[in-house]
Structure 1
Amino acid sequence: MFDYSKFPNKQIACIDMMSFYASCMASLHSLDVRKVPIAIVGNLKQRGSVVLAASPAMKKRFKIKTGNRLYEIPHHPEIRLFEPKMAYFLEMSMSITKILHKYVPAEAIHVYSVDESFIDLTGTEKLWGDPAQTVKKIQKEIFETLNLPSTAGLAPNMLLAKLCLDLQGKKTGFAKWTYDDVQTKLWPVSPLSEMWGIGRQTEKSLNDMGIVSVGDLANFDLQRLETRFGVLGNQLYHHAWGIDLSEVGAPMPEGQVSYGKSQILMRDYNTIAEVRAVLLEMCEDVAKRARDASKAGRTISLGIGYSKNALGGGFQRSRTINEATNETMKIYAICKELLSENYDNRPVRQISLSITKLENEQSIQLSLFEKDNWRDRAIGSVMDNIRNRFGSTAILRAISLTDAGTAIKRSELVGGHKG
């Protein structure tokens, strides 16, 4: 048993907007997101366009959720369809943060995502009273001001606040956990992927060790977990006991562990030439972001998702090179190799790309055997400067002007969708 008196016992709340994107559109059009079936669709003019968000009524009554396609939505007089307004969504997100600032200082707020935030209410009792009532007051103000319903969890640390929200608060609107609740409310959780921070691959590895619930994980031998997973094993063990030393408002670790991009294509891409066209554009974008941050990576990862019309599936492959790079064409060359080795000629609907194992660009030693290295880097720098000054489409590769190219259309979007 843990002596919880040695660990932080704060008043951390995790507040999440209910069906945020659908709620924003409902607010804009004076609708009740809890009653009206609403779907946010990438492009209403394309039948294969993806459902980006759905209201509770849409999910419950019509079984339509994120990832469905426009053509799968039934024709029904009560259904309301909207295209995303990303600029408006971001504006609403900032409005939520402004409300939080009325209750706690900036350093006591951690914006986890566009629709979810952590706030530290420790020590605010003299100002606002009981933290549980304060959270409910904040939820009420967000709803009355912005017409956005929310759910919340309150607990001694960020981990338990998030778990309290996900496992109970989203069903009841608000929930509060203490360390005393760990064994009765957290340990029964199974499958393990329902535990915040445990993905499918880690879940499978734990299952192979006979660990199928959070309680199993908490009572497993710590040394064996550390032998199998290293530092992650130690973290998994302590998380199973509800222990988390993260600080709200603490600065994020310096730097970024990867640069990546993912696209759901607006139609099936049926040839490798079409896929390569989009892939080159994505390599250009990812490489530029790495160059802007003066970073370069040694591992290039490519993911391909096949169309539902071809029974779905796909592959994810990586390749590590000897020298880190942020050059577009070098990254593209690796991606072409991975594509040629694994692509089985089925129509493609999703492409993802990332570079990892980053290091500072200044540490790269250009090979003396590649005479065009300096020239290529200089050309890349000039192209980046033009785009930074005049926009992403100020200078384009010819492939972007073909039917397969998506760069021009995507340049008109905010956050990947219409502004």
Structure 2
Amino acid sequence: MVDYSKMPQNQILCIDMKSFYASCSAVMDGLDPLECYLAVVGDKKREGSIVLAASPRMKKEFGIKTGSRKFEIPKDPRIKIVEPKMATYMRISTEITRVFHRYVPKEAIHTYSVDESFIKVDGAVKLWGDAKTIAWKIKDDIEREFQLPCAIGIGPNLLMAKLCLDLEAKKAGISEWGYEDVQTKLWEVSPLSEMWGIGRRVEKTLNGMGIFTVGQLARYDLEQLEKKFGVMGNQLYYHAWGIDLSEIGAPIMEGQISFGKSQVLLRDYKEKEEIKHVILEMCEEVARRARQHRKAGRTISFGVSYSQDEFGGGFYRSKTIEEPTNVTMDIYQVCLELFEKFYEGKTVRKISMAIGNIVDDYELQLNLFDENSWKKRELGYVVDRIRGRFGSASLLRAVSYTAAGTARHRAKLVGGHKG
């Protein structure tokens, strides 16, 4: 049993804007976000274009959700299909954050994503009332000023607030969980992928161990979980008990930081050389993201998804190298090695990669067999500064000017989509 008296007893709000992109587009078109039938797609001209967001009624009545394709949307006169306006969405997101500042200082706010934020209200309760009262005030402010719906989960730590949001508040509007709710509400959750932090791959492994509910996970032998999953096994166990020691501003799963990118290609890629061109472009972007945070990583993960025309499938594999890196070509060589080893020659429609096992990039282990290692690392930072000043398209690799390249097109986008 866990002694909850020694655990954090904060008052954390997790605020989620419902179907944010779709709701923003609905309001801009004078529609009710909760009543209209609206889908935001990347490109209206392409039938295979991905649905980026769908209004609640689109999800409920037509089964159209994020990740669906345009050709799956029924030909119904009530349905409105629009393209994204990313710059506008970002601006609205910023304005919503300003609402939070009315109740707490900036140090108490953590923006988790463009449509989700955490707020620690411990220091504001004497001024505004308890956590639930503050949640209702924020919800009312957002709906009155932006006509946008939101849901708010409340918990004693970041994890519990997030779980409360995902598992209850998204249906109820506002909900609050305490540690006393762990066994009655959290432990009942099944399938395991319904719990934040557990993906399909981990769920499958846990199922193979005889674990099908969060309660079974909480009662499983901790040593066995750590033996199977390492540090992640420890986190899975304590998360099943609702325990999280993260502070506002830190990632919820401490130690699981990585820098990655996933890209659904604009068309099917069948030629190996063309696929390699896109891989190199993506390595450049992932390396740049790591350098922006002055980080480097030892574990490089890479995978591809095949076209549905060939019944889908694909692979995702990782390799750990001796020295941490954020050099584009180092990452590219590992991705290329994994690609050559596991690629089955099928048509590729999606490419994913990430670097993990992150460390600070302030030191460099000198290598007698690579006297230019320092120069290669510093060159990346120089290129970043040029792009930061003149734009991401100001300096591109030659592959970006081939028919396979996507970087020139993506440089015109905001958040990966039309502005």
TM-score (norm 1): 0.90
- Opposite residue 246 of structure 1, the aligned amino acid is S
Match of 1:217 in 2: 217
Of residues 233-242 and 222-231 in structure 1, the stretch that sits farther from structure 2 once superposed is 222-231
Larger displacement relative to structure 2 (250-259 or 298-307): 250-259
Deviation string 1:92-123 (CA, Å, 9 cap, x unpaired) is 11111111111122222222221111222224
Aligned twin of 2:391: 391
Q: Does the aligned pair in 1 maintain the 2:51–2:66 contact within 8 Å?
A: yes
* Map of 2:341 onto structure 1: 341
- Measure the CA separation in 1 of the matches of 2:246 and 2:294: 29
Per the TM alignment, residue 50 of structure 1 is displaced from its structure 2 partner at its CA by: 0.9
Amino acid at match of 2:111: V
What is the CA distance between 1:251 and its match in structure 2? 8.6
Aligned to 1:151: 151
Whole-Å Cα distance in 2 between the matches of residues 254 and 153 of structure 1?
21
Report the RMSD for the aligned CA atoms in angstroms.
Answer: 2.7
Q: Which amino acid aligns with 2:410?
A: R
Question: Which residue in the other structure is 1:317 paired with?
Answer: 317
Following superposition, the deviation at residue 8 of structure 1 comes to: 2.9
Aligned to 2:161: 161
Decide whether aligned partners of structure 1 residues 40 and 100 sit closer, same or farther in structure 2, where only a CA change above 3 A counts: same
Correspondence 1:121 to 2:118: no
Paired residue type of 2:147: N
Q: How far is 1:179 from its partner?
A: 2.5
Can you list the C-alpha shifts for 1:344-386, whole angstroms capped at 9, x where unaligned?
Answer: 2221111112233444555434544457657756765654443
Aligned residue type for 1:104: V
What is residue 173 of structure 1 aligned with on the other side? 173
Distance 1:376 1:122 in 2: 47
Give 3-state SS (helix, strand or coil) of 2:122's partner: coil
TM-score w.r.t. the length of structure 2 is 0.90
1:337 Cα deviation after fit: 2.6
Matches of 2:117 and 2:246, distance apart in 1: 14
Q: Give deviations 1:204-228, integer Å, cap 9, x for gaps.
A: 3333333221222233344444444
Matches within 5 A, 1:172-251: 172-249=172-249
Give, in angstroms, the shift of residue 264 of structure 1: 0.8
Unaligned runs of 5+ in 2: none
- What is the match of residue 89 of structure 1? 89
Task: Give yes or no for contact 2:364–2:374 (8 Å, CA) kept in 1.
Answer: no
Equivalent residues, number: 419
Secondary structure of the residue aligned to 1:300 is strand
For residues 38 and 388 of structure 1, do their structure 2 counterparts lie closer, same or farther at Cα, with a shift above 3 Å needed? same
SS class of match (1:71): helix
Distance 2:359 2:249 in 1: 26
Question: Does structure 1 conserve the Cα–Cα contact (< 8 Å) formed by 2:37 and 2:55?
Answer: yes
In structure 2, distance between residues paired with 1:209 and 1:252? 25
1:23 aligned residue: 23
Larger-Rg structure: 1
CA deviation after TM superposition for structure 1 residue 397, in Å: 2.5
Match of 1:48 in 2: 48
Amino acid at match of 1:388: G
Structure-2 separation of matches of 1:387 and 1:49: 29
Distance 1:6 1:361, change over 3 A: closer
Q: Percent identity?
A: 58
Paired with 1:384 and 1:247, the residues of 2 have a C-alpha distance of 30
Mapped to 2, the partners of 1:245 and 1:371 lie a distance apart of: 43
What amino acid does structure 1 have at the position aligned with 2:202?
Answer: T
2:349, 2:185 → 1: CA distance?
A: 40
Compared CA separation, residues 417 and 317, structure 1 to 2 (3 A): same
In 1, Cα distance between the equivalents of 2:64 and 2:26? 17
Match of 1:305 in 2: 305
CA distance in 1, matches of 2:189, 2:63: 25
Match of 1:270 in 2: 270
CA deviations 1:209-263 (Å, max 9, x no partner) are 3322122223334444444444444433333232333333569999994332221
The answer (yes or no) to whether the contact 2:108–2:248 under 8 Å persists in 1 is yes
> Which amino acid counterpart does residue 33 of structure 1 have in structure 2?
P
**Against the structure 1 CA distance between its residues 134 and 75, is the aligned structure 2 distance closer, same or farther, given a 3 Å change threshold?**
same
